[in-house]
Copies of this chain bind each other. A is one copy, B any other.
């Protein structure tokens, strides 16, 4: 049986949950806040991060969302998500890295720090200069998503791929924190509505973080 160590607003855990859902793989979610984690979790993952996908029967763990997704891709034939020619697969991985690293580093990471960690752990209020900067950068990324979906059927090409799920996972966290602004991004918004209405998104829309409720529209698949 798979156990997924995650916490509700971790975008990398969300990416893995989407892939598990798409591939119809059963798992037990276990909530773990890395900043509260003890020795036992450190033994499972010396890097001290989530997501970790643990096989409790054979007692071994998959670590790092991308390593987990590549593993699931290699072992579960249902719904391939890194597909096509080697070049097409490289384009999927380029976009996954763009969202996992650049989008996370520019937007999701700073927002989680300002709105989640400062509120729940540090008891400080968010810095308005940082929020203005993330909101400016968000529009640049949404311009790029507009461009991609205006020129291709899905983000990486003709097929739905891991790139769409990596991007949607990051955006779903920004949306939970109340910071999505779709004005002037009709194409990107339409793409996200389609992603959000997939059954694999259900668990993400139901997850709540104690002390940090999502805005009303968050779980509305028509919004």
A interface with B by C-beta (< 8 Å): 46-47, 49, 60, 62-64, 66-68, 70-71, 74-75, 86-87, 89-90, 93-94, 97-98, 102, 144
A interface SS class: helix
4 A-B pairs with the lowest CB-CB distances in the bound complex, closest first: A67-B93, A64-B97, A71-B90, A74-B86
Q: Which residue of B lies closest to A52 (CB)?
A: B94
A71 and B92 alpha carbons, distance in the complex (Å)? 11
Q: Which residue of B lies closest to A82 (CB)?
A: B70
A-B contact pairs, 5 of them (CB 8 A): A60-B87, A63-B97, A64-B97, A67-B93, A68-B90
CB-CB under 8 A from A46, the residues of chain B are: 98, 144
Known interface pairs A64-B97, A94-B64; A102-B47 also in contact (CB < 8 Å): yes
Contact A66 B97 (CB under 8 A): yes
A74 and B70 alpha carbons, distance in the complex (Å)? 13
Contact B60 A97 (CB under 8 A): no
Contact A71 B98 (CB under 8 A): no
Contact B74 A93 (CB under 8 A): no
Known interface pairs A47-B102, A102-B47; A90-B70 also in contact (CB < 8 Å): yes
CB-CB under 8 A from A66, the residues of chain B are: 66, 93, 97
A93 and B72 alpha carbons, distance in the complex (Å)? 13
A6 and B30 alpha carbons, distance in the complex (Å)? 41
A97 and B71 alpha carbons, distance in the complex (Å)? 14
CB-CB under 8 A from A87, the residues of chain B are: 60, 71
CB-CB under 8 A from A102, the residues of chain B are: 47, 49
Highest count of chain B CB atoms <10 Å: which of A47, A67, A90, A102: A90
CB-CB under 8 A from A94, the residues of chain B are: 62-64, 67
